[in-house]
Structure 1
Amino acid sequence: MKHLFLVFFSLSTFVLFSQIQKDTSYTVISTFKKEIKKFPFIKIVNSVEDISVTKKENIIYKKTGETKLHLDAFFKNDEKNLPAVVIIHGGGWSSGDKKQMHTTANAISAKGYACFCVEYRLSDEAKFPASINDVKDAIKYIKANAISYNVNATKVAVLGCSSGGQMAALVATTNGKKEFEEKSSLKQSSDVQAIIDMDGILAFHHPESKEAASASKWLGGTYEEKKEIWENASTLTHTDKNTPPILFINSSQPRFHAGRDDMIAILNKFGIYNEVKEFPSSPHSFWFFEPWFDDMINVTTQFLDKIFKQK
């Protein structure tokens, strides 16, 4: 009996460990090692924290089952009613970590914004639209606690990189669509007023897209198996007259622009403000590296200033 108990305990422990172990393949270091072969001049951005920015880490914004989801906040204590920027990390919907966006959050916050790096359920934990639900709940939490972070709850942007960029665009183009939200005790709206998409695709089943493997994992099957879900997860499906202004910041890698020009055509039809900044001769995850980081921050904050601070 004792032997059976030990076997059961060992198996239970193994199952539990395998359930909570996350994919850590997408990191700044792993990306650097990959990209330096093609771009030998790149350097990882030196993270220097601005002393005027307050940082609060691992704030629980949501509990779902046994899972607690966290966000990290960056804001200036001496400034009130700051526009908020919700930041979504990349990693093919299956990897990545909110901490890898801290350098970006600190830099944007130093220029007069409250930034929030958001943790969300990855594809090994939950399929689409769980991560979209999570980001929308993070937005509700930030608005509900706006006073604590000096946030103007009527001025919220969502920024994402790679798969996070795809998510950011989808979060914003589904403003007000309850099918993309889970039940919540928070009554605040999850609507946002601006989008910054850094190399996130806008359509999955598209001639330019090469994300079939990662997409299938997140969307629960291939396009042939889950056509409706693939279409519903694509930003192009939801782009219309209500889409917020958007800034596209792109690398020189065409596969990560999939659907961008199609979306711009729709935005222009409705007179919705949009910008494109494309860095020549750049790798996909340019936001981690010099010589692009400073330009990226400047372009981003200039866009945000135009949307939120200019009369």
Structure 2
Amino acid sequence: MKRTIDPGTGRPTVFFFDHLVFSHTTDLAGNPVTLEMSLLCQMDRPQLQRALGRSIPEEIPADAGARHGLRPAMIWFNGNGWRGIDKNSQIGDLVFLAEHGYAVFCADFRTSAQAHFPAQIIDAKAAVRFVRAQAGRYGVDPDRIGVMGRSAGGQIVSMLGLNDGKYLSEEWKEYSSDVQLVFDMFGPVDLKKSVGMDMEAYANGTADTSRWTCVEQTHAGAYLGGSGEELLRRAAEASPALQVHDGMPPFLIMHGNADPAVPCSQSEEFYEKILAAGPHNVADLYLLQGAGHGTPEFFAPMSQQIALDFLAKHL
């Protein structure tokens, strides 16, 4: 069979780049750790040449985004209880953002076995600065960088959304770590409350010990490090819900109302605190009917459209 067809050009070509090194750091034993990110985005020929290093990256003025048609960026941080998972494991769920003109970066961070809090926040902020530093190479608007993450990644991006100037490394230090938007998917944003409840359960014998025998072994305990009062103190420091303030970037929050791992009340309280913290704060909360912890509802067409509308309005 031979036919001539005209399929059209309605669907954009999306390129994928991997193994972009953004940080050289160490683990708890002092061993070297290299952190990488990947990039998923549309590119025209000059942008592709720059991304491949075939020409000198152009310098981009701070206000150049709108004038030069630069794309906004979203940086994705995965979950898995801070214990580590391939940064690209959900790349398929993020293609819709690249198809709508966003540069989608997926970034590593040190696992809880490699380092304790605040190492993961230090890594995430280094990733933001790297993207800003490499904006010219990848055609990114350095003034429109958002972050998104699920579960443990939701806690990380919510910490980034504080724009507090804390937990900074020396890498790419001439660039800002501030972000312009946060998309938090069912993140445990009040670790002090979670850890406190776990400590009480282990103390009174009501905890499920089939998986862990003490609070220090749980996802949050391994992430935070320490024990007793030290663990609670660190949990408070890692709780974005306890540090909200006026002037935070816009927050989009999604949480399943049947989540068995992180109660949706954490997102509800976080949302209310953000709005109560000051007149300049913007936040939208969507409770997904019947959704669990990371179930398919979060990337269903309706959820994707909500995200696209929020990003188009605020980033």
Fold shared, TM-score > 0.5 on shorter chain: yes
Q: SS where residue 148 of structure 2 aligns? A: strand
Partner residue, 1:123: 112
Which of 14, 25, 30 is 1:64 aligned to? 25
Partner residue, 1:275: 284
Structure 1 residues 76 and 223, CA gap change in structure 2 (3 angstroms): farther
Whole-Å separation in 1 of the counterparts to 2:34 and 2:299: 34
Whole-Å separation in 1 of the counterparts to 2:171 and 2:239: 24
Which of 258, 279, 284 is 2:293 aligned to? 284
Unaligned runs of 5+ in 2: 1-10, 27-31, 48-68, 199-214
Whole-Å separation in 2 of the counterparts to 1:76 and 1:209: 45
Q: In structure 1, what residue type is equivalent to 2:155?
A: Q
Q: In structure 2, what residue type is equivalent to 1:135?
A: A
Partner residue, 1:145: 134
Q: In structure 1, what residue type is equivalent to 2:300?
A: F
Q: SS where residue 248 of structure 1 aligns? A: strand
Partner residue, 1:195: 182
Contact 1:54–1:77 at 8 Å: present in 2 too?
A: yes
Structure 1 residues 53 and 219, CA gap change in structure 2 (3 angstroms): same
Question: Mean alpha-carbon deviation: is it higher for 229-238 or for 263-272?
Answer: 263-272
Q: In structure 1, what residue type is equivalent to 2:291?
A: S
Contact 1:87–1:118 at 8 Å: present in 2 too?
A: yes
Contact 1:202–1:258 at 8 Å: present in 2 too?
A: no
Structure 1 residues 223 and 103, CA gap change in structure 2 (3 angstroms): farther
Whole-Å separation in 1 of the counterparts to 2:189 and 2:274: 13
Which of 133, 141, 154 is 2:143 aligned to? 154
Shift of 1:184: 2.1
Shift of 1:185: 4.2
Question: Mean alpha-carbon deviation: is it higher for 146-155 or for 207-216?
Answer: 207-216
Structure 1 residues 222 and 257, CA gap change in structure 2 (3 angstroms): farther
Matches within 5 A, 1:119-268: 119-173=108-162, 175-178=163-166, 180-206=167-193, 213-222=218-227, 224-254=229-259, 255-268=262-275
Shift of 1:188: 0.5
Shift of 1:51: 5.3
Whole-Å separation in 2 of the counterparts to 1:63 and 1:199: 29
Contact 1:104–1:297 at 8 Å: present in 2 too?
A: no
Partner residue, 2:81: 92
Partner residue, 2:94: 105
Whole-Å separation in 2 of the counterparts to 1:207 and 1:91: 16
What fraction of aligned residue pairs are identical, expressed as a percent?
24
Shift of 1:284: 0.8
Shift of 1:244: 1.2
Shift of 1:204: 1.0
Contact 1:219–1:230 at 8 Å: present in 2 too?
A: yes
Partner residue, 1:297: 304
